[in-house]
Amino acid sequence: MSDFDIAAYIGDVPDFPKPGVTFKDITPLLSDPEAFGRAVDALVASAPEDIDVVCGMEARGFIVGAPVALALGARFVPVRKSGKLPRDTVETTYDLEYGTQTLAVHTDAISQGDRVLIVDDVLATGGTVAATADLIHRLGGSLVAVSVLMELAFLEPRDLLLRRDIDQVTALVSYEE
């Protein structure tokens, strides 16, 4: 895996979604089956043992998390925006740069003592991961690790996660700027 450069498959889109922001586009990675497979393999290899549940957040976390769960023989749990899940849910609201967001998960998706891995495409500010960790804990699960394709380290997301006692974080690529 050491010869696999995931960054070569992540495109930069300047001034998206607003001026001054450079969006990290994973669609080149997704469009290359071999590269996507290698990225999934790397996420699987970084996972702790005995994972019961993989949580992926809407929407790219579904794309990345589901194949990781399948490879680990774990259940996949989608974490969605409020109002998108059909059964009873538990929700949490967190702050965004401009406003708030509410995430939800089915109340029966995670059981007491389940060992949970969060998988997503990007770790930016850490807010979505921290909110998902809150949902996991409220349902009795144990968050054991977070694995992402990329981390925007210049936004210092690990500071927030460390304040929430989330210290097992793996990023396949880290961007300093």
Q: Render pLDDT for 110-152 as a digit per residue (tens, 0 to 9).
A: 999 999 999 999 999 999 999 999 999 999 999 999 999 999 9
Q: Look at residue 34 and tell me if it is in a domain.
A: no
Domain assignment present for residue 132? The answer is yes
Residue 92 lies in a domain: yes
Question: Could you tell me if residue 134 is inside a domain?
Answer: yes
pLDDT, tens digit (0-9, with 9 covering 90-100), for 96-117? 767 799 999 999 999 999 999 9
What are the structure tokens assigned to 160, written together? 């927030």
Catalytic residue among 34, 49, 97, 177: 97
pLDDT at 1 over 50: no
Domain that holds residue 152: 48-175
The answer to whether the beta carbons of residues 159 and 108 sit under 8 Å apart is no
Q: What was the pLDDT predicted at 95?
A: 85
Out of 5-9, 62-66, 98-102, 121-125, least confident range:
98-102
> Is 97 marked active-site?
yes
User: Does residue 133 fall inside a structural domain?
Assistant: yes
User: Residue 107: which CATH number?
Assistant: 3.40.50.2020
- Residue 9: inside a domain: no
Among the listed residues 60, 115, 138, 164, the single catalytic one is 60
Q: Is residue 24 part of a domain?
A: no
Contact yes or no for 62/84 (Cβ under 8 A): no
Are the C-beta atoms of residues 134 and 157 closer than 8 Å to each other?
no
Domain count, the chain: 1
Task: At 40, list the tokens.
Answer: 């999934």
Nearest to 155 by CA among 132, 176, 129: 176
Is 95 contained in some domain?
yes
Clarify whether 34 is annotated catalytic. no
